[in-house]
Structure formats: C-alpha cells, structure tokens
C-alpha cells in the first residue's frame, strides 16, 4: 500500500468515476492509503508514480477505514520519511512529554473554520491559499514573527498564519502503515486507562470521581465541537467547515476530540460507538434514524446536519413535543441511540 497526501479538500467517489456519486471527503493534508502495486509496498516506487500519473483515479483507504476512489490530480505521493514526521514520532521520542510535543509538533490541524495562508506575516499580505478546519499543515517555524507561524501546506505553498489558528492533531495515520483496524478504539480506551493509572495509588472512590469528571469534560468538548459547525450548509458527503452531512458532523466532532467513529449513520463492530437505551442518553451521545444521525445536547435538544427545507444545514431541534423546534418526523423514526461511554 502506498501513501498519498490530499493536495486540497477533495472527494472520495464510490467508483472510479466522479459521476458515480460522492462517498466521503478528505481535507487538505490528510493522508490516504492507495493501491499502487500488487506488492502492497509501504512506499511508492518510481514505477508506481509513473503508472499512477497515467491513471485518472486511484483506489484509496482512509486512516479511519473508509474506502473509495479519488482523482489522482487531488493527491501527491508521501515518502516514508514524511509519513514518520507526520506522526510526530521523532518529536515525541526526543521530547518524552506530551506537553513539549504539543508546542513543537511539526504537523498541526487548522483549528478555526477557515484560515488564510498569507505571503507575509501581516494581515494586508497576499492570500496564497485558504484552508478549512482540521486541514493539516507542516509548521516550519512556530512564532517566527510575533503571533505568526510559517507553514507549508500539502500543495507546497509556504506562507504565514496566526499561530492561534494552529491546534494539536488528535488523530494519526499509523493505520495506513500498520493495517490495524482497531487503533481508533484502542487509542480511546488507552486514554481512559491513563486516567485510572494517574489515580491508582489513591482510593478507588477518587479514581471513580476522576473518571466521572473526565467523562463529563469530554462530553462537553464533543458538544462544543459540534456547535462550532452550527449554521454550516448541508453538503452531501461533506466533511468540512464549508459543508457537512449528518454523519460528517458527528465524525468531525468526535475526531477533533481524539475519537474516530464510523463515517456513516450507523454503528458497526470495531468502532467505539455502542448501543444504549433511551434512558441512558447524555450529551455527546448519538441518536440514529433511518439514514440519519444526530448528536444529543441535553434537555431534549439535538444538533444535526439536515437537508430539511425549513432549516437546511447544521441546526438544533428538539425531542420535546412542546418545543417550537420539535421535529415530529424524526422523533417518530428513531432507530436507536449510541455512546462511546458504555460501561464495561
């Protein structure tokens, strides 16, 4: 399997034909695995690149296990050296601490809805490229000029952006090298285990309290992430701050907090979302409908991306009959509820 980087926000199609329908979207700087040879090499050979350039489409798999076809013009090869740098492996090995990693990681997400890459560290400079939230950039020099960092985008553009627009990546591409489909669940569980280990020398009641505080904080972070997309237009298969569909909204909200759930509006084995009862529903959990999914906010409210004619886009509706934003059609078609906080 070769590894490639998206040059821009780009579509994954169901077949090797853009008319076959959009299946998913990846953003600038995201990595995909691509079928380039029968040897399943972890890097692209010169012949692979030549063969690839002759083809209009290439079969890809994302770092969260989704598959489809992409235009080769939307991708560029990724060397193994770059792939390792993208995982911040060398920085982590040298720093030994997550705190130092966060302040020196060479690859970061864009943490705002949109960020301009400018030709100089001043707001009057020429706009070279505009990136959407969770696009990945290579940080060449953090805070090179007061409040400005120099970065390189996936397309090779070098320029400046406000340092506060950068945020730590909460995902990684190691699945593309290891071919391990369980990492998104294992990583999530390992973070929860760390909370227990930190308090292991104290009383069990303190451990339980710490876990409860951790869960409450994460639920709050999940709903906050979803609310940042409020008002974003509905876009079929979209997964960006310029347009998003229902499952894309939940996927991004969870990914921004270090959890990879399944991309579509359903629960499947191997991903951390598990069925729960209606009485267990809490903020951050998922509500499932036929071909649709929403995030529960609490107090009977839920946020979702909808193509409904009266409020197309990311909006808030209610499960409560007496509320003005009650959606009877959705409430009467609920198929289930899901949570990543299922007690073991």
For every residue of 54-103, DSSP letters joined together read H-SEEEEEETTS-EEEEEGGGEEE--HHHHHHHTTHHHHHHH-SHHHHHH
| Confidence band for 97, pLDDT divided at 50, 70 and 90 | very low
Token pair 């991903």 is found at: 271
Average pLDDT (319-338) is 96
Average pLDDT (291-308) is 96
CATH of the domain spanning 2-83, picked from 3.65.10.10, 3.30.930.10, 2.30.30.40, 1.10.260.40: 2.30.30.40
Single out the residue of 234, 256, 244, 232 nearest to residue 24, CA to CA: 244
Under the phi-then-psi rule, with left for phi > 0, alpha for psi from -120 to 50, and beta for the rest, what region is 289? beta
Average pLDDT (137-156) is 95
Across-strand partners of 138?
A: 107, 152
CATH number of 97-167: 2.30.30.40
pLDDT at 296: 98
Cα separation, 246 vs 332, in Å, equals 18
Comparing 2-83 with 184-339, is the CATH topology the same?
no
Bridge-based pairing of strands 301-306 and 10-15 is unpaired
| Domain boundaries along the sequence of the chain | 2-83, 97-167, 184-339
Q: Rounded mean pLDDT of the chain?
A: 84
Model pTM score: 0.84
State yes or no: pLDDT of 140 exceeds 50: yes
CATH of the domain spanning 184-339, picked from 3.90.1720.10, 3.60.20.30, 3.40.50.1820, 3.40.50.10330: 3.90.1720.10
Average pLDDT (103-112) is 83
Average pLDDT (332-336) is 97
């Amino acid at each position: 399997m070769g590894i490639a980087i998206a040059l821009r926000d780009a579509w994954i199609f169901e077949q090797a034909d853009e008319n076959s329908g959009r299946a998913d979207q990846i953003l600038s700087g995201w990595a995909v695995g691509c079928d380039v040879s029968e040897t399943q090499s972890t890097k692209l050979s010169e012949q692979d690149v030549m063969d690839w350039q002759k083809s209009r489409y290439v079969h890809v798999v994302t770092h969260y296990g989704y598959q489809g076809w992409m235009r080769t013009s939307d991708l560029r090869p990724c060397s193994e050296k770059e792939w390792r740098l993208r995982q911040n492996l060398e920085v982590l090995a040298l720093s030994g601490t997550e705190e130092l990693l966060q302040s020196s990681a060479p690859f970061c997400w864009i943490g705002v809805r949109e960020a301009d890459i400018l030709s100089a560290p001043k707001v009057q400079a020429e706009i070279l490229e505009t990136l959407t939230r969770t696009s990945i950039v290579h940080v060449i020099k953090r805070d090179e000029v007061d409040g400005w960092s120099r970065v390189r985008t996936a397309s090779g553009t070098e320029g400046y952006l406000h340092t506060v627009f950068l945020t730590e990546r909460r995902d990684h591409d190691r699945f593309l090298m290891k071919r391990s489909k369980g990492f998104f669940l294992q990583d999530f569980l390992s973070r929860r285990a760390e909370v227990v280990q930190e308090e292991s020398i104290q009383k069990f009641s303190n451990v339980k309290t710490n876990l409860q505080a951790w869960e409450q904080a994460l639920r709050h972070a999940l709903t906050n992430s979803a609310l940042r997309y409020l008002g974003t237009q509905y876009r079929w298969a979209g997964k960006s701050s310029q347009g998003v569909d229902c499952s894309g909204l939940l996927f991004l909200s969870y990914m921004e907090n270090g959890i990879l759930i399944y991309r579509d509006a359903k629960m499947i084995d191997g991903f951390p979302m598990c069925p729960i009862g209606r009485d267990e529903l809490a903020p951050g959990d998922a509500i499932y409908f036929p071909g649709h999914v929403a995030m529960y906010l609490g107090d009977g409210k839920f946020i979702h991306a909808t193509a409904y004619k009266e409020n197309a886009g990311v909006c808030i509706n209610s499960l409560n009959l007496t509320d003005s934003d009650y959606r009877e059609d959705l409430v009467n078609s609920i198929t289930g509820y899901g949570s990543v906080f299922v007690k073991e």
